[in-house]
Structure 1
Amino acid sequence: MERTKILIVGGGFAGVECARGLERGLRPSEAEITLVTPASYQLYLPLLPQVAAGVLTPQSVAPPLRRMLHRTRIVPGMAIGIDPRDRVCVTRLISGETTNRHYDVLVLCPGSVTRSFDIPGLDAHARGMKTLAEAAYVRDHVIAQLDLACAGQDEAERASRLQFVVVGGGYAGTETAACLQRLTNSAAKRYPNLDRGLITWHLLDVADKLMPELGDKLGRHALQILQRRGTQVSLGVSVASVEDESITLTDGRVLPSRTLIWTAGVAASPLIGTLDADTVKGRLVVDADLSVPGCPGVFALGDAAAVPDLPQGGGAVCPPTAQHATRQGRHVARNVISLLRGMPLTPYRHRDLGLVVDLGGKDAVARPLGLELSGLPAQVVARGYHLAALHTGTAKFRTVANWGLNAVSGDDFLRTGFLSRRPATLRDMEATDAYLSPERAREASASPAP
């Protein structure tokens, strides 16, 4: 009897949890499980700001897939097109070669990319925080600005190098600004002729509240922490245009700055557009059991899917969070097993575990199961949650060791030289221009497949 071919697209929270669930629930003789992902690790995104700040090493937040998956075939590449009619996934390997892969069951969890807008200069000058490469580049860039400002003689140049702008008042932007501001303040002590008071961090968001999901009390507390540290928070404001040495804001201010870190939300992977299927704000429409209407054998989940939020009701969809992606991955694994064994599929329901925001040091805010915490108790909860979410003992140990080492010895301020001689645009880092149109995906799927 030929084994069922299950193809999982995406090695993030959803994809890895789905693969792990299928490995546990299916016998090797029942199915051939394949995972398509360009990375050899599962990136734990919530701790990426601490990698950018040098608190954690990249290995701490990127446990290798081969430590977690034991009989899943891992294809090093990215899916660039889907032909649901012929059940073919067009894949571009990291070598540049394009191949086709047939499937019987497709699990789509390609995640998201940084959401950008048609703002003059944004494509050329904005840097994201969605990948390990972007975090490494941002760290190098920020420290380079301190080095150049210290060595420079021109006061205008120095001022532009020492102003840093983060756009996005959500979790990613707030934690990025908090962690990197702590890094530059600490680093300033090592630069004898650099005035620490010249280093300024700006956090911008078009919303009128910081992290509104936290509630008014905790949101205000997080805002006060940032402001007490010296971060200038501007709400109801965004970027109007970006140039080499300045950033113009929508309220008319012009900030002399050479650093724009863009975390203003996410958009579903462009792969979703290759299916020619219904979407909601760019996310693929799915039923409550996470199957895709009109595409037999296809499931979608995570950031790329508009999964109905049944507990909330009213047509709401689940937010694109790691918590949901992890749970949806486990749920899809159970539904795929049910599909193969002729059992009914079940709808996805969840209980919200709450939110945690690590602002570095002893500062944090958290709302576990509705309980509002701040300060050291919130920090304990936040870091405990992150440790529990890391899949391997090695990653947990490295993370704890890094936290302890940083608490005892402080920050280091080195540049690795990563991508120092080439641009690091959102398009380059996240390969958003690699995907095919639905027509080209159908044409490409007609070639031989393994």
Structure 2
Amino acid sequence: MERPRILVVGGGFAGVECARRLERKLAPIEAEIALVAPFSYELYLPLLPQVAAGVLTPQSVAVSLRRQLRRTRIIPGGAVGIDAKAKMVVVRKITDELGAEPYDYLVLAPGSVTRTFDIPGLDEYARGMKTLAEAAYVRDHVIAQLDLADAATSQQERISRLQFVVVGGGYAGTETAACLQRVTTAAVKRYPRLNPNLIKWHLVDIAPKLMPELGEHLGDRAMEILQRRGIEISLGVSVAEVGEESVKLTDGRVLPSRTLIWTAGVAASPLVNTLDAETVRGRLAVTAEMKVPRFDGIFSLGDAAAVPDLAKGDGAVCPPTAQHAQRQGKVVADNIIASIRGQQLKPYYHKDLGLVVDLGGADAVSKPVGVELTGLPAQLVARGYHLMAMRTNVAKVRVATNWGLNATAGDDFVRTGFQARRPAALKDFEYTDSYLNPDQVREFTKNLIAKR
């Protein structure tokens, strides 16, 4: 009898945690395990703003898959379509060739992409903070604006290059604005021709509160910290139009700016649209055991799935956080093992342990197990949590060393020329135009089966 084939799609928190647990709890003779991932690392996404700020090197948050997975076959590419009838996943390899991987059990953890809206100029001029390449690009771009402003002969050009707009008042946007504002504040000392008062950071969000998940007190405290640093916060406002040299807001203001960093939420990976399944706000509807109804052997979790939040009840679904993704990965692995062994599946239940927000330096707000902290105690909790959450000792040492080096030696302001003179739109980094439609998927797998 052939071993069942378990195919995990996604090399993020959910997918890697699932594969790790499958390796530990399944004997090699019980199943074959494969993982589809476009990169050879698991990205520790919560620390991406610190990569953009240069506090951490890109390698620090790129946790090697091959250090974590010993016998899982790693397929270098991205899943771009699912044929549930044929039980095959179409994979676009990193060479851009199309192939297909068969499965008996499929774990869909493709994560999410940056959520965008039909705003003129957004697709062309917005920069995201969802991938490692985007963080490296944003850092280069911000430092380039300082260099160009320093060399500018026009005051109008200088002003537009020194104003930066971050859209999104959640964790990603708030931490990005906080970390990068610290960089430009420190960097301007190396540019004697620049007036520090010309550097302005704007944080914009349509919501009435900053990071409402933290609660009113901590959210207000975070806003006070940012405003004290000089970051202008506009709530209840969004972007109406984006140009090469300006950002127009819905309240009528036009900000002269050549930098728009877009972090206004996430949407499930376009991969879910290739599966004819029910969705909840774009995420796959799943049972409490994270099975996709009507589809044999398919589980989904993480950002791509609307997993019922049994701890909250009342139809709530789990938020797209790393904390939930990692724990869901373990439960899905256990449920696949139970399916193989003919045992009963168990539902996912996890009560949120709290939240941490690193605002750079000694500034932070945290809420571990319901206890509200600010300042240095909150920063210690935040950084301690991140170190514990990283899955390899090498990654922990790299991050801790980088923090220590930055604290003692300060920031560097080197522009590497990453992606200089090349397109840098959201789709160029997140490959959102790489997916097939359902008809293309069926046609590809049909032809592939016929050739065999």
Q: Same fold (TM over 0.5)?
A: yes
Q: Secondary structure at the match of 2:217?
A: helix
Residue in structure 1 matched with residue 393 of structure 2 by the alignment? 393
Deviation track 1:394-414 (CA, whole Å, cap 9, x = no partner) reads 110010110011011110000
Q: Secondary structure at the match of 2:43?
A: coil
Residue in structure 2 matched with residue 148 of structure 1 by the alignment? 148
Deviation track 1:151-185 (CA, whole Å, cap 9, x = no partner) reads 11100000000000000000000000000000000
The reply to whether residue 46 of structure 1 matches residue 50 of structure 2 is no
Look up the equivalent residue of 2:371 and give its one-letter code: L
Q: Secondary structure at the match of 2:63?
A: coil
Residue in structure 2 matched with residue 437 of structure 1 by the alignment? 437
Q: Secondary structure at the match of 1:120?
A: coil
Gaps of 5+ in 2: none
The reply to whether residue 280 of structure 1 matches residue 286 of structure 2 is no
Q: What displacement does 1:448 show?
A: 3.0
Give RMSD over aligned pairs.
Answer: 0.8
Q: What displacement does 1:447 show?
A: 3.3
Contact 1:163/1:258 (<8 A) preserved: yes
Q: What displacement does 1:445 show?
A: 1.5
Residue in structure 2 matched with residue 368 of structure 1 by the alignment? 368
Residue in structure 2 matched with residue 7 of structure 1 by the alignment? 7
Look up the equivalent residue of 1:401 and give its one-letter code: T
Deviation track 1:15-50 (CA, whole Å, cap 9, x = no partner) reads 000000000010001111000010100000000000
Take 2:164 and 2:447, find their aligned partners in 1: how far apart are those partners? 49
Look up the equivalent residue of 2:317 and give its one-letter code: V
Q: What displacement does 1:438 show?
A: 1.4
Residue in structure 1 matched with residue 192 of structure 2 by the alignment? 192
Contact 1:241/1:248 (<8 A) preserved: yes
Which is further off, 56-65 or 155-164?
Answer: 56-65
Take 2:302 and 2:361, find their aligned partners in 1: how far apart are those partners? 31
Once the two structures are superposed, the pairs formed by residues 314-353 of structure 1 within 5 Å of their partners are 314-353=314-353
Residue in structure 2 matched with residue 310 of structure 1 by the alignment? 310
The reply to whether residue 407 of structure 1 matches residue 402 of structure 2 is no
* Percent identity over paired residues: 69
Take 2:416 and 2:18, find their aligned partners in 1: how far apart are those partners? 35
Residue in structure 1 matched with residue 29 of structure 2 by the alignment? 29
Residue in structure 2 matched with residue 241 of structure 1 by the alignment? 241
Q: What displacement does 1:444 show?
A: 1.3
Q: What displacement does 1:443 show?
A: 1.2
Look up the equivalent residue of 2:445 and give its one-letter code: S
Relative to the length of structure 1, the TM-score reads 0.99
Take 1:111 and 1:84, find their aligned partners in 2: how far apart are those partners? 19
Take 2:347 and 2:422, find their aligned partners in 1: how far apart are those partners? 47
Look up the equivalent residue of 1:403 and give its one-letter code: W
The reply to whether residue 382 of structure 1 matches residue 382 of structure 2 is yes
Deviation track 1:241-290 (CA, whole Å, cap 9, x = no partner) reads 00110000000000000000000000000000000110011000000000
Q: Secondary structure at the match of 1:445?
A: helix
Q: What displacement does 1:312 show?
A: 0.6
Take 1:444 and 1:221, find their aligned partners in 2: how far apart are those partners? 54
Look up the equivalent residue of 2:275 and give its one-letter code: L
The reply to whether residue 87 of structure 1 matches residue 82 of structure 2 is no
Residue in structure 2 matched with residue 59 of structure 1 by the alignment? 59
Contact 1:100/1:447 (<8 A) preserved: no
Residue in structure 2 matched with residue 230 of structure 1 by the alignment? 230
Take 1:365 and 1:400, find their aligned partners in 2: how far apart are those partners? 20
Take 2:53 and 2:126, find their aligned partners in 1: how far apart are those partners? 18
Residue in structure 2 matched with residue 128 of structure 1 by the alignment? 128
Take 1:331 and 1:21, find their aligned partners in 2: how far apart are those partners? 9
Take 1:311 and 1:373, find their aligned partners in 2: how far apart are those partners? 24
Take 1:127 and 1:250, find their aligned partners in 2: how far apart are those partners? 19
Look up the equivalent residue of 1:47 and give its one-letter code: L
Deviation track 1:35-69 (CA, whole Å, cap 9, x = no partner) reads 00101000000000000000000111111100000
Name the count of aligned residue pairs: 450
Q: What displacement does 1:70 show?
A: 0.2
Deviation track 1:391-449 (CA, whole Å, cap 9, x = no partner) reads 11111001011001101111000011110111110111100011111121111112337
Gaps of 5+ in 1: none
Look up the equivalent residue of 2:107 and give its one-letter code: V
Residue in structure 2 matched with residue 172 of structure 1 by the alignment? 172
Look up the equivalent residue of 1:149 and give its one-letter code: A
Q: Secondary structure at the match of 2:326?
A: helix
